């Protein structure tokens, strides 16, 4: 199914424009969108909560059944009905640990120099968790240990034979899946793969991807296979349509060398990370009305500064929250914004 791409103005809030578009679709006289049956896919849980708030605010005075708002990781389970009981994460890990424990140590040597003993439960569970993380990442790209082993046999990217390690992982994964099936269970990756292979994908309402920046291959394949409407809301002007793929995801290679003009007055020179946090607060306070958190993006050149900057901003918020502000002033507006961020608004 072709995904309908909808471009939004990136000079305005993405979530507010998304809410306006959704309500407009719901109010159409011809083929209106049933929001109660729609699934909205956002980048994170916080964005989902804020989008619901905006929808409620904009639909005040009108009846509206809220749509289902989820993150990208939960999308596949909305597109099929599982045929077997789903194994919990802990159950799946315990089954994989059991398979590893039952494998003769010499068979694990291509993978592990010192395989854990059958009685070392902590090491077995930890190892099982690491194997499953890799399996999930591969599954998201519609790959498996076995497929990677086959690729290694055709062309190796390293100067040694890496095929043996992947064959060991493939054997462990096959035995793990067989063990789950013997108990009438599947993990999420097994269920998704089977639903796609058997053509059991469907969705009764529309699926709307809202500013999604990454979409694993498995998700793409499942969306292409459903019979419902799929939309991708792209927070960029339509003049940049070529910089996004058919699912509305940015094409990384086309953005790496794209120039970003920055006016000199927009450059603020500060020294320490703590100074950066204070400068951010000062810049935000200049805007009237104060922007909501979903309208602010803070980017740091060094990822290691992230935790320190976050702690500094949190500390700044707590300090401001305890100050008495005059009325009515800009500082009072800043005070209310900080209190809201701390979950203690005065005027909620």
Per-residue pLDDT reduced to its tens digit, 107-138: 999 888 888 988 899 999 999 999 999 999 99
Poorest-confidence range of 141-150, 174-183, 236-245, 315-324? 315-324
**Would you place residue 317 in the very low, low, confident or very high pLDDT band (cuts 50, 70, 90)?**
low
**Residue that is written with structure tokens 């998201």 in the block:** 140
Round the CA-based radius of gyration of the chain to a whole number and report it. 25
Q: Given a cut of 80, is residue 92 above it in pLDDT? A: yes
First to last CA, the chain: 44
Res 326: pLDDT: 41
> Is the Cα dihedral 90, 92, 98, 100 positive or negative?
negative
Q: What is the mean pLDDT of residues 249-257?
A: 87
Of the chain, the percentage scoring pLDDT greater than 70 comes to 84
Poorest-confidence range of 70-84, 158-172, 305-319? 305-319
Q: What is the mean pLDDT of residues 162-191?
A: 93
Q: What is the mean pLDDT of residues 240-259?
A: 89
Q: State how far the Cα of 179 lies from the Cα of 176, in Å rounded to an integer.
A: 5
Query: DSSP letters along 15-83, please?
Result: HHHHHHHHHHHHT-SSS---GGG-EEEESSHHHHHHHHHHHHHHTTTS--PPPEEEEGGGSGGGS---S
> Is the Cα dihedral 329, 330, 332, 336 positive or negative?
positive
Res 319: pLDDT: 44
Res 51: pLDDT: 92
Contact 243, 9 (CB under 8 A): no
Threshold 0.85, pTM exceeds? no
Res 207: pLDDT: 95
Of 173, 152, 35, which Cα lies nearest the Cα of 95?
Answer: 173
Instruction: Give the other-Cβ count within 10 Å of 236's Cβ.
Output: 17
Task: At 189, list the tokens.
Answer: 């990756």
Q: Given a cut of 90, is residue 154 above it in pLDDT? A: no
Sequence-distant contacts of 110-113: CB under 8 A, at least 24 apart: 110/164, 110/165, 110/167, 110/168, 111/165, 111/168, 111/169
Query: DSSP letters along 199-260, please?
Result: T----SS-EEEES-----HHHHHHHHH-SS-EEEEEES-GGGGGGB-TTS-B-HHHHTT---
Q: Given a cut of 90, is residue 227 above it in pLDDT? A: no
Query: What residues have CB less than 8 Å from 238, skipping those under 6 apart?
Result: 7
**Would you place residue 285 in the very low, low, confident or very high pLDDT band (cuts 50, 70, 90)?**
confident
**Residue, of 161 and 81, whose pLDDT is higher:** 81
Q: Please report which helix (H) or strand (E) contains residue 288, including its range.
A: none
């Amino acid at each position: 199914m072709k995904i309908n791409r909808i471009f939004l103005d990136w000079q305005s809030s993405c979530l507010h424009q998304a809410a306006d578009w959704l309500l407009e679709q719901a109010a159409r006289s011809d083929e209106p969108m049933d929001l109660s049956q729609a699934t909205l896919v956002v980048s994170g849980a916080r964005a989902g909560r804020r989008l619901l708030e905006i929808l409620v605010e904009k639909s005040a005075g009108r009846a509206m059944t809220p749509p289902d708002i989820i993150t990208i990781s939960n999308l596949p389970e909305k597109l099929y009905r599982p045929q077997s009981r789903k194994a919990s994460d802990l159950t799946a890990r315990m089954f994989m640990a059991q398979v590893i424990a039952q494998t003769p140590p010499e068979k694990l040597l291509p993978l592990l120099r010192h395989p854990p003993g059958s009685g070392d439960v902590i090491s077995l569970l930890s190892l099982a968790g690491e194997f499953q993380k890799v399996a999930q990442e591969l599954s998201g790209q519609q790959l498996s240990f076995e497929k990677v082993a086959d690729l290694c046999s055709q062309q190796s990217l390293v100067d040694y034979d890496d095929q043996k390690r992947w064959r060991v992982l493939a054997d462990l994964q096959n035995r793990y899946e067989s063990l789950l099936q013997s108990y009438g269970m599947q993990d999420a990756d097994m269920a998704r793969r089977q639903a796609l292979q058997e053509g059991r994908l469907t969705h009764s309402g529309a699926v709307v991807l809202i500013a999604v920046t990454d979409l694993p291959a498995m998700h793409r394949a499942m969306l292409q296979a459903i019979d419902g409407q799929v939309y991708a809301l792209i927070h960029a002007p339509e003049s940049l349509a070529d910089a996004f793929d058919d699912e509305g995801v940015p094409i990384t290679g086309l953005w790496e060398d794209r120039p970003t003009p920055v006016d000199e007055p927009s450059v603020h020179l500060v020294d320490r990370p703590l100074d950066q946090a204070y400068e951010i607060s000062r810049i935000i306070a200049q805007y009237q009305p104060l922007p909501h958190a979903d309208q602010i993006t803070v980017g740091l050149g060094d990822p290691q500064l992230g935790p320190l900057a976050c702690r500094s901003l949190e500390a700044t918020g707590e300090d401001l929250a305890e100050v008495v502000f005059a009325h009515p002033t800009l500082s009072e507006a800043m005070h209310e914004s900080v209190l809201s961020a701390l979950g203690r608004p005065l005027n909620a």
